[in-house]
Amino acid sequence: MIKPHGADELKPLFVYDTEKHHALNKEAESLPSIVVNSAAAANAVMMGAGYFTPLTGYMNLADSLSVAENLQTTGGLFWPVPIVNIVDSIDGIEGAGRIALRDPNVEGNPVLAIMDVEAIEPVSAEQLSSMAEQIFGTTDAAHPGVSTFTSLGKYMLSGPIEVLNFSYFQADFPDTFRTAVEIRNEIAERGWEKVVAFQTRNPMHRAHEELCRMAMEDLGTDGILIHMLLGKLKPGDIPAEVRDASIRKMVEVYFPPNTVMVTGYGFDMLYAGPREAVLHALFRQNSGCSHLIVGRDHAGVGDYYGPFDAQTIFDERVPDGAMEIEIYNADHTAYSKKLDKVVMMKDAPDHSKDDFVLLSGTKVREMLGKGIAPPPEFSRPEVAKILMDYYQILDS
C-alpha cells in the first residue's frame, strides 16, 4: 500500500491507549482551558485521525507564513495550507505550558485535545490577509474561506497535541465517519492495492457516478473511496446526512459489491480551490489511496478560480516527489443525448451544448423543491427521491 506523506507509518494523534486516555481526561480537569473555533477543532480531528500525518500539532507563525507562501514548512516539509489554532483572546491561558482545548461544536464544550504550548504569538490582520491571498488567491471578504480565515482571531497557538475525541463526527455519523487508520485497515482487509478517491461535498448525480467508473476503468483500480466532507459548509449546501443517504443509495443500487467504500472525514470546507485540492490529495495518500480524482473547479466557489486551476497546481507548484499519490484529471462530465451515455465533455468535440443534458445547481434545487424529479439522464430516481424529500421539508 502507498506510504503516508512524509513518514513510513501513519501518525494519528488520537490517544488510543485506554489508561493514558483516562489519565489525560482527568488531567484536563485541572488545566487552563480555551474553547477553540470550529476551524481549529476540525484541524485537531484531522490530526487525531491520522489524516494530517506527519504533523504533531498546530503550526507556529513562521511555519504558517512559509506554508502559505512556499507550500512548505520552515523545516522543508511539503504542505499546502497552514494548520493553525488562532484565538481571539488568551485570557486564562497566558503563560501556561499545557492547556486543554475545548470543542465549540458540542454542547458543554468537552475537552477535544490537550496541547503543549510551544508559543503564543500575535498574528496581525495584515499577516492574516497576506496568508489568505496566497491560500485562496483573493482577499475578497465575500469568499467564504477568506471571511472565515481572516476572522479567526489575534493570537496563534502552536505546539503538539494529544487528541481525546473526534468531536461530533463519530456520534452523528457512526456508519460514515472513518479515520485514516480505519480506512487503511479496511483497504488492506479488502485486499485492494490500487484505490482511487472521489472527494465530495455534494450529492452525487449521474455524471459523478460515471466519473467514478471512468476513473476505476482507466486506472485499473481495485476499488474507489467515496470520501465525503462531514464538517461545516457554506449556507445553502446540502447537509451531510442527506448527502450520505443519497450516496449510499446510489452505491447500493448501481455499483457491484466490494468496489466502493463510502466514508466521511471530519473537516470544515475551506473553499480554497487549488490549494485545497492539494490538501485533498495529501490526506487521501494518508488514507491509503493511490489516486485522487480532481475535476473541474475542484473545491472551488463562485468564480474565484479557473476551471482547471486545481489540476494545473500539481504541475506548477507541487515539486516532483513531494507526494506519492497520483492525480486523475477529469473534465466536466454530462449526459450525451447523441451517444446515450455520460461522457467527459472534452471527449465529445463534435457536440454542442444542446447535445448534453445540462442543469444548473439552482435549476435542480428549484425542481427538487417543487417535487419534480430531474431527468433520469441527470439524476438516478432513487437519489432524486431522497433529495426531493429534503427540499420539500426545507420549503414547508
Query: Is 243 among the residues known to form the active site?
Result: no
Task: Give the DSSP letter of residue 354.
Answer: G
Contact 48, 13 (CB under 8 A): yes
Bridge partners, residue 196, by sequence: 224, 291
Which residue among 25, 70, 109, 202 is the active-site one? 202
Residues contacting 390, CB < 8 A, separation 6+:
238, 239, 242, 368
Query: Is 185 among the residues known to form the active site?
Result: no
Cell match 488520537: residue?
Answer: 14
CB neighbour class for 352 (10 Å; exposed up to 12, middle 13-18, buried from 19): exposed
Which residue among 98, 201, 213, 365 is the active-site one? 201
Torsion, Cα 122 124 127 130, to 10 degrees, reads 150
CB neighbour class for 219 (10 Å; exposed up to 12, middle 13-18, buried from 19): middle
Contact 21, 15 (CB under 8 A): yes
Contact 163, 47 (CB under 8 A): yes
> What amino acid positions are annotated as catalytic residues?
201-202
